């Protein structure tokens, strides 16, 4: 090999290594932290340029929905909201409204909105039907042994606040929304929780209504 060529070859090798190092560093850089302030702006105002409607128009100010078929999102666990927004983009939780909006959200949008909502204070709900709330309490706390339905409290905690990054908050949630989701799990319309699909298939309509009413009154 021509000795005069060696310095040039060495320089090229160093340059390649440098570029590779930068590429590796970029690929493995720490993910950007969630920005709750940006999440608050997107939640309240949407983004007309991207066709994103304000989340507040359906889910209420600060995540406290006043529409019974739309869930309350205030104080919901950040990881759970993040997961659901991603699930809406796939086949396991297809929803005519949320699938469209979720697909328009960037990764940062998802993280920011989730961070914002998790920091909000949830307004309490209330049980409506005294005749069935006792049955709901029994199901929530002890399950239905003869149907092999476990106690809801085992995963969602005795007071319904759930377990961060694992199980969602259910306390104070609208009865209509909870019933709809249990029904969706039972029919297979919603498939993004194998555990809930199994459990819901073992419950009757009356049992779903009772436990939904009880959970609405949890604080």
Consult the annotation and say whether 215 binds a ligand: no
**Residue 126 is encoded by which pair of tokens?**
């209330």
3-class state of residue 60 by DSSP: coil
Instruction: Give the integer Cα–Cα distance in Å for 17 and 24.
Output: 10
Consult the annotation and say whether 156 binds a ligand: yes
Kindly write down the DSSP assignment for every residue of 170-200, as one continuous string: -TT--HHHHHHHHHHHHHTS--S-HHHHHHH
Consult the annotation and say whether 208 binds a ligand: no
Consult the annotation and say whether 174 binds a ligand: no
3-class state of residue 143 by DSSP: coil
Consult the annotation and say whether 58 binds a ligand: yes
Q: Determine the length of the chain.
A: 219
Consult the annotation and say whether 28 binds a ligand: no
Backbone torsions φ then ψ of 125, nearest 5 degrees: -105, -160
Where b means 16+ CB within 10 Å and e means fewer, 39-66 reads bbbbbeebeeeeebeebbebbbebbbbe
H helix or E strand, kind and range, residue 11? helix 5-27
Residues annotated in the binding site, as ranges?
55, 58-59, 98, 152, 155-156, 196
Q: Annotated binding residues for heme c, as ranges?
A: 55, 58-59, 98, 152, 155-156, 196
């Amino acid at each position: 090999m021509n000795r005069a060529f060696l310095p040039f070859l060495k320089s090229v090798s160093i340059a390649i290594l440098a570029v590779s190092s930068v590429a590796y560093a970029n690929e493995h850089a720490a993910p950007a932290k969630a920005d709750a302030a940006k999440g608050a702006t997107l939640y309240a105002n949407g983004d007309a340029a991207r066709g994103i409607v304000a989340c507040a128009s359906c889910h209420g100010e600060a995540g406290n929905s006043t529409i019974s078929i739309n869930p309350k999102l205030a104080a919901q666990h950040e990881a759970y909201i993040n997961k659901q927004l991603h699930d809406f983009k796939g086949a396991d939780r297809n929803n005519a409204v949320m699938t469209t909006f979720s697909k328009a959200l960037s990764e940062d949008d998802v993280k920011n909105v989730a961070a914002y909502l998790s920091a909000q204070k949830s307004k309490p709900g209330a049980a409506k039907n005294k005749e069935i709330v006792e049955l709901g309490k029994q199901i929530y706390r002890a399950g239905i042994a003869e149907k092999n339905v476990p106690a809801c409290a085992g995963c969602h905690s005795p007071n319904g606040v759930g377990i961060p990054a694992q199980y969602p908050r259910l306390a104070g949630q609208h009865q209509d929304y909870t019933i709809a989701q249990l029904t969706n799990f039972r029919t297979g319309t919603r498939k993004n929780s194998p555990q809930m699909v199994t459990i819901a298939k073992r419950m009757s309509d009356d049992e779903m209504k009772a436990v939904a009413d009880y959970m609405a009154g949890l604080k």
